[in-house]
A and B are shown apart, each in its own frame.
Chain A
Amino acid sequence: MDPISAAMKIASSGLEAQSLRVRMVSENIANASSLGSAPGADPYRRKTIVFQPDFDRNLGADIVTVKKIGVDPGEFSLSYDPSHPAANADGYVKVPNVNPLIEMTDMREATRSYDANLNLIEQARSMATATLALLER
């Protein structure tokens, strides 16, 4: 495969990985207040995503893939709400370990990397166009 289309394929693997990351972030934000339903039950646990390089034999280069989607083992904080169905004997409810500030920062970083990959595709395309322009009179 010629290097320019290989560059496009690699950058598109980056787009895919980063968009999955944004999906994880939105899942975390959407569930930022998903509490348990039984007394003392655990609420939503924040999800994390880890990338890894993956050598693609067709391209002869490293693309990026998702290594694993894990969970954040961080502790839940407690809020006092004795009337809630998930309240424990002392009247405390566990709330998800999602910090909106961290999620927004993560999303900004994902968007930035997504844009960078998009730029690389754009540049590869302009290189291909410049090559084709050699055929013009």
Chain B
Amino acid sequence: MIEGINLFQTMSQKLDYLGVRHTLLAQNVANADTPGYKAQDLRAFSEALRTVQPAGMLATHQKHMVAEQGNTTYREDRRVEGWEVEPSGNQISLEEQMIEAADSVRQYQLATQLMKKHVSMLKATLSTRA
């Protein structure tokens, strides 16, 4: 059962990872016609998790504003090479981005379905009468 609880943790990390990745893909697609824009992506999930997170400033007063730092949890892939580079220096191919996005949605649905199944397994265990 301990492994089961662990699975929940990994799954929610995976969901978070896919959410952050989707933000980056949205960023790429929104800037698909911006001159000189480079595509961004995360590394594969297995090597993306940062063990040490960079520390931000603490808000110790109600008037302090906390700056959103964006993604600080997952390592970015610095070697992204798009399918093509336009003459304007834009590196984003819409087809490629749409394939990546569809893939991450599929993985997201897989993860949520697995989580549901796992909950129903736990329920089945709990409802067994001796």
Q: Is the CB of B31 within 8 A of A62?
A: yes
Chain A residues with Cβ below 8 Å from B31 are: 14, 51, 53, 62, 64
- A-B contacts counted at CB < 8 A amount to 116
Q: Is B122's CB within 8 Å of the partner chain A?
A: no
- Interface residue range, chain B: 35 or more
Q: Are A10 and B23 in contact (CB under 8 A)?
A: yes
A59, CB-defined interface residue at 8 Å: yes
Given contacts A10-B27, A64-B31, A109-B33, contact A123 B68 (CB under 8 A): no
Asked if A29 is at the interface (CB within 8 A of a chain B CB), the reply is: no
Q: Are B15 and A131 in contact (CB under 8 A)?
A: yes
B33–A59 contact, CB under 8 A?
no
Could you tell me the distance in whole angstroms from the C-beta of B124 to the nearest C-beta in chain A? 13
Contact residues in A for B32 (Cβ distance below 8 Å) = 14, 113, 116
Q: Could you show 18 A-B contacts with beta carbons less than 8 Å apart? A: A3-B71, A4-B19, A6-B26, A10-B23, A14-B29, A17-B33, A21-B33, A59-B68, A60-B68, A61-B24, A64-B31, A109-B33, A113-B32, A113-B33, A116-B32, A117-B29, A119-B101, A127-B109
B residues adjacent to A (C-beta < 8 A): 15-16, 18-20, 22-27, 29-35, 37, 67-71, 94, 97-98, 101-102, 105, 108-109, 112, 115-116, 119
Q: Told that A4-B22, A61-B70, A123-B102 touch, could you supply 5 new A-B pairs with CB distance under 8 A?
A: A4-B23, A6-B26, A13-B30, A120-B26, A127-B109
